[in-house]
């Protein structure tokens, strides 16, 4: 039951973030819905393709689709009322969604007997794949790949599940709290991974 609640929270957070990006880019109503759905479910769809889960499994999540549609509709109809609280709490709920989705993706792959590499990829795609697809469709540089430590926390979740560091329900809940807390700390304090520019951006002629 707890995982279902976390899935709902993550779905709402990701769907709203996709809808807001679409509205910032001045997409029409259809574009808002498409970008929101892709953000919420795109990572899981790509994961399913890579680990051998039938694509039709995506359509078995009808309640979550309805939740996502409802959340996007509210944001579209009442943007002035929704944006202030979203700016205040959006990153918090996004962190919960990242953690829940990454762990669920890793568990999915681990239960199918896939190797550690596949478990990590499943965690990353489920936790951050939707955001990457969202930014690409919006014509933006994927935020999770250059501006913040985001996918790295999904990798950590995949490692913990794949190496069976966290296996029991209690341990998995502890992992969920740890990953979410690390994500919250990383955006609160502006943690970033090292990066190196080349060419003109590095100051070369």
Whether 99 maps to a domain, the answer reads yes
pLDDT at 90: 77
> Domain total for the chain?
1
Specify the pTM: 0.84
pLDDT at 200: 60
Whether 160 maps to a domain, the answer reads yes
Q: Which domain holds residue 65?
A: 2-194
Whether 90 maps to a domain, the answer reads yes
pLDDT at 182: 93
Residues of the chain with pLDDT under 50: 1
Whether 199 maps to a domain, the answer reads no
pLDDT at 199: 61
pLDDT at 192: 83
Mapping DSSP onto H, E and C, the string for the chain reads CHHHHHHHHHHHHHHHHHHHHHHHCCCCHHHHHHHHHHHHHHHHHHHHHHHCCCHHHHHHCHHHHHHHHHHHHHHHHCHHHHHHHHHHHHHHHHHHHHHHHHHHHHHHHHHCCCCHHHHHHHHHHHHHHHHHHHHHHCCCCCHHHHCCCCHHHHHHHHHHHHCCCCCCHHHHHHHHHHHHHHHHHHHHCCCCCCCCCCHHHHCCC
């Amino acid at each position: 039951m707890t995982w279902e609640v976390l899935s709902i929270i993550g779905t709402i957070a990701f769907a709203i973030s996709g809808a807001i990006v679409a509205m910032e880019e001045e997409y029409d109503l259809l574009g808002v819905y498409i970008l929101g759905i892709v953000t919420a479910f795109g990572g899981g769809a790509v994961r399913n393709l890579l680990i051998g889960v039938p694509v039709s499994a995506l359509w078995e999540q009808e309640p979550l689709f309805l939740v996502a549609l409802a959340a996007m509709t509210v944001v579209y109809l009442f943007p002035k009322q929704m944006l202030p609280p979203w700016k205040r709490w959006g990153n918090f709920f996004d962190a919960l969604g990242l953690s829940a989705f990454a762990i669920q993706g890793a568990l999915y792959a681990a239960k199918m007997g896939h190797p550690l590499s596949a478990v990590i990829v499943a965690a990353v795609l489920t936790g951050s794949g939707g955001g990457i697809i969202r930014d690409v469709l919006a014509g933006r540089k994927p935020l999770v790949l250059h501006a913040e430590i985001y996918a790295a926390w999904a990798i950590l979740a995949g490692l913990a599940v794949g190496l069976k560091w966290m296996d029991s329900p209690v341990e998995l809940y502890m992992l969920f709290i740890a990953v979410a807390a690390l994500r919250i700390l990383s955006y609160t304090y502006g943690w970033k991974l090292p990066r190196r520019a080349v060419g003109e951006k590095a100051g070369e002629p």
